[in-house]
Amino acid sequence: MEQKELSELTDLELLDEARKKKSTSIKYALLIGFLIGIVIYSVAKNSLGFFTLIPLFFCIQID
């Protein structure tokens, strides 16, 4: 399916696209928050190590 330019979409299609983008950004925010929580817990429980850096790597790659 070919993607249309935003100027070619109807009002209803634009609203649908906005809902999809908002939903996706909320999911990404929750995932990044969860991964950062893992890092904070890991640093508080142990020290900074290799396995602490793995969630940080995934936070950077999500964008």
pLDDT number for residue 11? 83
Whether residue 58 contacts residue 35, with contact meaning beta carbons closer than 8 Å, is answered with yes
Check if the beta carbon of residue 59 is closer than 8 Å to that of residue 34. no
List the one residue out of 63, 38, 33 whose CA is nearest residue 49.
38
- Domain ranges, ordered by start, for the chain: 30-63
**pLDDT tens by residue, 12-25:** 888 888 888 887 88
pTM value is: 0.61
